[in-house]
Structure 1
Amino acid sequence: MTRPVDEPAPVSGAGAPMVLSSAFSAPDNSYGAVRLIAALSVVLSHSLLLGFSSPDHDPLAWAVYDLGATAVNIFFVLSGAMLTHSLLHQGGLRRFARNRFLRIYPALVASAAFTALFVGPFGTSAALPSYFLDPGTWLYPINVAWNFEGAVLPSMFEHGRYPGDVNVPLWTIKYEILSYIVFGVAAALGFLRHRSFAIAAWLAVAVTLAGDVGADPTGEPPLESLLRFSFAFLTGVVGRQLGTLVPMRFGWSAAAVALALAGTGSPFAEITWIVGIGYVALYAGGSSWGGLGAFARRHDLSYGIYLLAWPVQQVLTREPIWAGPQVLVLFVLSGTIAGGLAYLSWRWIEKPALQLKARAEEKVL
């Protein structure tokens, strides 16, 4: 994989302004904490949706993207920025592909197996012997690996708010993987050696995306989803490629929020929202969050929470007992359970996979 043109070193010193490149290089940055908050925001958004059966109660229902969709956009912005940051320090298409596979698939397949074997018995309407004798139960983890949210389990959640939806949030992961593939190929071909290529691609997607006012992230067509996630990912890529020029300041963060709000209802609503909120996420992660930031650096629970929260919430909402303030109880309960499961996923699946990645890199060196 061809590495990008070396960026100039940021100005250092006590009086030097913080820029994005130095924020990503800081050992005490809090991007893990930002991802954790984003994952919990998805859980909250889904709790409100499952509890009220209507998106109108979402705190960002008035915006072009609701709370859950905004959090997913943040994931893509951070992903683009972090991959670009890594690319500035190491290359190799084979290494890149291996690292991305180890980060995505072990936890994805393990969470699917857990859902089929341990969540499924509580969510299926089928008799347990029939459920466990059905080949679909045992093939579910394999189906998830390629079909994502389209994979089904026998008679699952038939009486829930969303019948048959075993793990609908997985629909975004295929776009994440596609982003990785395009990014890796572009880097291997040398396109990312020049910032102008990423900027041109970013602007081209922005122009295409403009005009899609009132996006519905729960029902947007695949092409719109592709444009949305491509733009968010490229926002992170371009931001990090211009890392020595992008200041990390509170005033700029406030201006980014103003930009996001000002664009609401305009033909540029999706663009201004992704750029504005994306900058806020990059700014927020560039500072130390104390104990929370340290915890998130040691235990990256965001991916596990995202993978496991929906099946847990579907089980909890099989009976319509959640309404009004009780929806917050649903959020706390499902977030706590998913967080506990995510810790086990991190401890026994994701962290060992990352250690395997590190050992493979040591052999190369």
Structure 2
Amino acid sequence: MIPNVLAWNIRGLTLENRLAETRCVGPGFDEVRLAAAITVLLHHAHGSIYDAKADILFAFSGGFLHFGLLAVLVFFSISGFLVAPGLARSGKVIDYAVSRALRIFPALVVVVILTMILLGPILTTRSLPRYFSDSGLLLYAKNILTLTDDFLPGVQLPDGHPAIVNGALWTLHFEVLSYVALAVMSVVGILARPRLVLVVFLAAYIVYVANGIFPAFAERLPGRFVTFISLFVYFASGVVLSTFRRTIPYSAALAGSAFLVLLASLAYGAGIVAAPLCLPYLVVFAGLSNLPGRSFVRRDLSYGVYLIHAAVLCCLSIMYPGIHSWELVALMALIVTLFLSYASSLLVEQPALSTKKSVANWIGRALRRRPDLDPPMAGGAMQAITEHIALDEMASPVRSAGQGRGDWSREVTS
């Protein structure tokens, strides 16, 4: 029997057909997410010893892509594909905003606070009174709102330079913005019109490619916007795949072709043109396939790994400066990070997600009690709420307590 992941599209399956065939379960998404999170860890472990960009992919792609960025783009592609259908079908922006907020912020808040009150005091070169009275400590708390601040008072590398405590958190801000953009698309009716969804993607794609090909064009735009577009285009590509899932083939032949095109484009300096078109399809194809390791991945640890690993690596760099093997650093960090990620999933993420329906209902009742909010105004209020609280899943899609592995039927209504 040919494994599903290698099966050719002999029966003319579409992405929608594949979802139905697997009873609305994306059997490979957990493995893809965890692999992406571990890839980020390995990339940062390598960067703790050598230049972070000195990897094979960075050299092969002519400086366009390294493994850490590749993993981030995988997360954005998955998020767009899994999150969009439920919002498009229900139009319930409140439920959507609550689900996104509960997926991102509880674990983020815990990680940031524990880093400030436990890890910082252990690593700082200052006395505890000076550490806790330093204004830099409050600045680090901005990470709770996805407003990145990298440094804690007195936390230094062995060479005396300030240590970047958790450099991986920067992407969360742009994932939040991607979720907000999707909510706006729903409120104004774009998400319900497939052609308009395609127009949004094409607009982002054109700006993204123009930024890469014409540096003078990118220099005229705000730096944060340029970074946002460079990530949102992959999120939007995932949204397009979910929107047109009834017509897009689920095909190993197409996936193989996409891989070859992506590989050739990276080798010949055209990665910026091909990557947003090819990579999201490869990610979705893998997520809908039966991948090796399903029996091993029992719980989605990817978000915890992403949130925690950089702080663990920072701690190892400061406490064990004599280690010069990035492989050993990576192994030590992986063991500690997986343990802490499991605790985060069990004690923080899963309990928080189990409250999403009750929280959404409470917010809905509160809005309905406002006599000054007619339906259009309520929609505007919800947009404001979304802008304030919405960002997976890293990287990653919502997984409620007790939910099956990559359960599409629950994802799309979350």
1:249 matches 2:244 = no
TM-score (norm 1): 0.84
Note if contact 2:123-2:315 (Cα within 8 Å) is conserved in structure 1: yes
SS at match of 1:87: helix
Amino acid at match of 2:152: L
Note if contact 1:149-1:167 (Cα within 8 Å) is conserved in structure 2: no
**Match for residue 51 of structure 1?**
49
Deviation at 1:311, TM superposition (A): 1.0
SS at match of 1:207: helix
SS at match of 1:148: coil
Matches within 5 A, 1:30-179: 30-63=28-61, 64-134=64-134, 136-137=136-137, 139=138, 142-146=141-145, 148-150=147-149, 152-159=151-158, 163-179=162-178
The one of 5, 13, 21 aligned to 2:16: 21
User: Which stretch of structure 1 is more off in the superposition, 330-339 or 344-353?
Assistant: 330-339
**Match for residue 194 of structure 2?**
195
SS at match of 1:339: helix
Deviation per CA, 1:127-157, whole angstroms, max 9, x where unpaired? 34432454654x4674212353325321123
TM-score (norm 2): 0.75
Q: Distance in 1 between matches of 2:274 and 2:323?
A: 35
The one of 260, 263, 266 aligned to 2:262: 260
**Match for residue 204 of structure 1?**
203
Q: Distance in 2 between matches of 1:224 and 1:117?
A: 34
Note if contact 2:205-2:276 (Cα within 8 Å) is conserved in structure 1: no
Note if contact 1:39-1:305 (Cα within 8 Å) is conserved in structure 2: yes
**Match for residue 5 of structure 1?**
none
**Match for residue 233 of structure 2?**
231
Deviation at 1:23, TM superposition (A): 4.1
The one of 264, 268, 280 aligned to 2:282: 280
Note if contact 1:205-1:230 (Cα within 8 Å) is conserved in structure 2: yes
User: Which stretch of structure 1 is more off in the superposition, 39-48 or 154-163?
Assistant: 154-163
Deviation per CA, 1:163-191, whole angstroms, max 9, x where unpaired? 33121211111110001111011112211
User: Structure 2: where are the runs of 5+ without partners?
Assistant: 1-8, 216-221, 365-412
Higher relative contact order (CA 8 A, sep 6+): 2
Q: Distance in 2 between matches of 1:144 and 1:21?
A: 38
The structure-2 alpha-carbon separation of the partners of 1:252 and 1:244, relative to structure 1 and needing over 3 Å to count, comes to same
User: Structure 1: where are the runs of 5+ without partners?
Assistant: 1-13
Note if contact 2:15-2:248 (Cα within 8 Å) is conserved in structure 1: yes
The structure-2 alpha-carbon separation of the partners of 1:191 and 1:200, relative to structure 1 and needing over 3 Å to count, comes to same
Deviation at 1:221, TM superposition (A): 3.8
The structure-2 alpha-carbon separation of the partners of 1:81 and 1:58, relative to structure 1 and needing over 3 Å to count, comes to same
Deviation at 1:88, TM superposition (A): 4.5
Deviation at 1:95, TM superposition (A): 1.1
SS at match of 2:147: helix
Amino acid at match of 1:37: A
Aligned length: 343
